[in-house]
Structure 1
Amino acid sequence: MSDKISDIDYREVTEYSLDPLIIHTDYKIIYINQAAEEFFKTEKEEVIGGSPLDIFKETSKGAIRKRIQSAYGHPAEVIEETIYRADGTTVEVELYCHPIVVENKKAIQTYIRDITDRKEIEKKQKEMIKQINELSATVVPILNEIAVLPLVGKFDEEKAQLLLEIVPVKVQKQDISYLIIDFSGIYTLDSVVIDNLFRINSVLSLLGVRPIITGLRPELSMAATNLHTDLSSIPTMATVKDALSYLGVNLKVQ
C-alpha cells in the first residue's frame, strides 16, 4: 500500500471480512484472513508462501493459472469451482479475483464464497424436474402391443430430449408394437422441440414400433411442414379413439 496507515486500515477491513479471501502474488500466498483460516480449516502459517493453485483439482490448475495471470490487468469474472480444504475435503465455491497493490507490488485478491447449499438446492430442483418430465413420458398400455403416449403441457428442448431417451426404452420393456403419440395436450412448440419430438418417430421405427400420431393441431402440422418433417409415412388421426379403430380396436361405451 502507499503508506503504513493505509496498510493497517486495509488489513483490518480484510481480516474481519465475513468472506474468506486470499492475497497472492507470483503464485505465492502472502495473506489469508480469519474467515479463510476457518473455511480451509488451517492456520495462516501453514499456507503463507504456498501456491494458490494447490487448492484446485489437477484438471483445473491450467485454466486457473491463466485466470490469475489475466487478473493482474483487470478483475476476472466470477466462476464456480471445486476446491480442497486442508483436511482433503472438497467444497463447491464461487471465486472472484481482482488486482491490488501490496507494498508497491502487483498482487491478486481472491474472494471465496461457499455455494454448497445453493448447489444442493439446484440438484434437488433438477431431480424434481426430471421426475416430473419422466411422468410426462408415461407410456400407457391399452391392449397387448398397443400403448398411448399422451404429451401434455409445455415442452422445452430438455423435455423433448428426455422423451427421446426414455420412450424407446419403455416401449421395448413393454413389448409395444404400436405407439399412439397423442399431441392433443400440447398447444405451443418451438422449431427445435418439434424437431426432437418427431425424431422419436424415426427411433421407434428402427425398433420395429409403428408410431401413430393423434391430436396434431393445424399450427403444429404447419410447423412440421416448414421444418421439412415428412409425416406421410406415419398414420395421423384426429383422436386416440380413431387410432384404436384404425388398429381394429372397437371401444364400446357401456
Structure 2
Amino acid sequence: MPSLSPVPQLSITEKEEIYQQIAEYSNETTIIHSNQKVLYINQPGSDFFKASKETLIGANVVDVFTEDYKELITERIRTGMEDRAIGELMETTVRRFDGTLADVELYCYPVQYGETVAIQSIIHDISAQKQTERDLLQLKNEISTPIVPIIDGLAVLPLVGSVDGDRSNRLLDIIPQKIQGENLQCLIIDVSGIYNIDNVVAEFLYKVDHIMRLLGIQLIFTGIRPELALKAIEARVDFSQLTTMGTVKQALKRHLTIK
C-alpha cells in the first residue's frame, strides 16, 4: 500500500495570504485587528470606509466609531482579546474617512492571524434600512399629529402617545411646518393623551410655546395634569408664562368669548 505524502506545512506568510484571498471574495467589510491596531482589511472594507488599504492598515480600529460607542467598542475588544469571547451582533455607527456617518451591524470573533492573536470584525452597512425606518417613523408621527381647523384662525392639535427626546425634536420641526399657510391666530394643543409625564414633555411644551410666540401665534395648552406641573418644577421650566386651560372645550369658549 503506497504511503501518503505528508501535508506540506505552510509558512505564516502563506497562511495570511490564503486568509486574505478568501476575505477578498466577501462583499462585507472584513477587518483583522489586534490590540486595536488594524492588521488587514479587505477591498470591500476599503471601499466602504472610502480610504486606501495603506491608510487603514495600522490605524486604530476604535477611531472609526462615533464618540458615544467608543467606550463600548473598546470593552468588546478587550474582552475578545483577553477572554477570547465572541462579540455578539450589534448595531452601531461609524464615521468614514470622508466624514460621512453610516449605520452598521457589527459582529466580532477571535481568530489566529498567522502567529498573532487577533479579532475579526465583520461590518454590514444598514444605512439604507435605518433611513427607511426613520422615514416611516417620521411619516407615522406626521400622520398621528393632525392639526384640526375649528374656525378661521383657530385650530386644535391633540397629542397622543409617548413624547421622548426624538419625537419632541420632530414635533418642534413638524408643527411650524404644518401651520404654514393656515393663517392661525390661535392654536390649542391638548396634551391629555400623552402617556409619559416627565421632564422631556415639560421642556417640549416650553419650547413649542416659545416658537409659536416668535411666529405670532397664541398657544393654549389643555389637559395638563398635576404630575406634569410637578415635573416642570423639577426641570425648572417656567410654566407661569404658558396659557393653560383644563379642557379643549374651555379653551374654545375662552377664545370665542375674547373674539
**TM-score with structure 1 setting the length:** 0.64
How big is each residue's C-alpha offset from its partner over 1:102-126, in whole Å with a ceiling of 9 and x where there is no partner?
2x5x37553435455xx55443332
| Matched position secondary structure for 1:112 | strand
Give the structure 1 partner of residue 120 of structure 2.
110
| Matched position secondary structure for 1:176 | coil
Matched residue type, 1:65: A
Give the structure 1 partner of residue 241 of structure 2.
233
Give the structure 1 partner of residue 50 of structure 2.
57
In structure 2, the CA distance between the partners of 1:101 and 1:213, relative to structure 1 (3 Å rule), is closer
Give the structure 1 partner of residue 27 of structure 2.
39
Q: Does 1:202 align with 2:210?
A: yes
Deviation for aligned residue 1:142: 1.0
Matches within 5 A, 1:210-225: 210-225=218-233
Matched residue type, 2:25: E
Matches within 5 A, 1:68-79: 75=81
- Give the number of aligned pairs: 211
Deviation for aligned residue 1:133: 1.4
**Structure 1: where are the runs of 5+ without partners?**
15-22, 24-28, 41-49, 84-89
- Taking the aligned partners of 1:239 and 1:64, their CA distance within structure 2 comes to 64
How big is each residue's C-alpha offset from its partner over 1:12-36, in whole Å with a ceiling of 9 and x where there is no partner?
xx9xxxxxxxx5xxxxx67325464
Say if 2:142 and 2:174, in contact at 8 Å, map to a contact too.
yes
Matched residue type, 2:122: I
**Structure 2: where are the runs of 5+ without partners?**
1-5, 29-39, 64-73, 97-101
Could you tell which deviates more after superposition, 128-137 or 178-187? 128-137
In structure 2, the CA distance between the partners of 1:92 and 1:152, relative to structure 1 (3 Å rule), is closer
| Matched position secondary structure for 2:197 | coil
Matched residue type, 1:58: A
RMSD: 4.3
Q: Does 1:66 align with 2:51?
A: no
Deviation for aligned residue 1:129: 1.7
Q: Does 1:156 align with 2:149?
A: no
- Taking the aligned partners of 2:178 and 2:226, their CA distance within structure 1 comes to 29
- Taking the aligned partners of 1:224 and 1:112, their CA distance within structure 2 comes to 46
Give the structure 2 partner of residue 165 of structure 1.
173
Deviation for aligned residue 1:182: 0.5
Give the structure 1 partner of residue 70 of structure 2.
none
Deviation for aligned residue 1:157: 1.2
Give the structure 2 partner of residue 178 of structure 1.
186
| Matched position secondary structure for 1:243 | helix
Matched residue type, 1:169: Q
Identity %: 27
**TM-score with structure 2 setting the length:** 0.63
Deviation for aligned residue 1:152: 0.7
